[in-house]
Amino acid sequence: MAAIVGIDARIDMSTADPWTVWNELPERNEFSISISVDTAEYKPFVANLAAAWITKARTWMSWSGSASGYFDDADDTIFDQVVAGSTVKLRFYVSRYESAQSSDVWEGFAVLTSVDHSVSTDDYATLDVDFEGQGELIRTTVV
């Protein structure tokens, strides 16, 4: 289950430090982001198994997701980044109709891990991309 979902969404990508040049990924229609938290178990020694309750503690967090949309044969940005295996910075807008100025967005570094290009019998092509977060995913306001 996705923690963050964007339908008719917009995704911007920055590909190099200083991470200030943003380009909208072409034809992205939707995305989903899953956030997970690992836990560690603590099992104390007990003499009586009736009292053997496990204690859990929060440990590492991670995020990953996917974006899908129509294929644009004039733009190889996504494919090029998957092949390069480089870290990019992604900015997720919940709606494509939000202004690029003064909008709440989700933002974080990621590696694009796979790309899937398919054509349906309905005569349109799609391009889906999966990504793995690198570090934290933050909620911020673009001004």
Give the residue with greater pLDDT, 23 vs 28: 23
Is 44 within a domain?
no
Residue 71 inside a domain? The answer is: yes
Judge whether 32 and 2 are in contact, CB under 8 Å.
yes
Residue positions counted in the chain? 143
How many structural domains does the chain have? 1
Residue 14, in any domain of the structure: yes
Q: What is the CATH number of the domain that holds 138?
A: 2.30.110.20
Residue 66 in any domain: the answer is yes
- Predicted local distance difference test score (pLDDT) of residue 1: 46
Q: Does the CA dihedral 101-103-107-113 come out positive or negative?
A: negative
Is 50 within a domain? no
Query: Would 29 be classed as within a structural domain?
Result: yes
Query: Is residue 46 domain-resident?
Result: no
> Which structural domain range is residue 69 located in?
4-39+56-142
Rounded to whole angstroms, the Cα distance separating 2 from 107 reads 16
The SS3 of residue 28 is: strand
Answer whether 17's CB lies under 8 Å from 30's CB: no
134 phi/psi in degrees, rounded to 5: -120, 100
Taking the whole predicted model, whether its pTM rises above 0.85 is answered as no
Asked, for residue 90, whether it belongs to a domain, the answer is: yes
**Distance between CA atoms of 16 and 18, rounded to whole angstroms?**
6
Q: How confident is the model at residue 109 (pLDDT cuts 50, 70, 90)?
A: very high
Written as one letter, the residue type at 32 is S
pLDDT at 10: 85
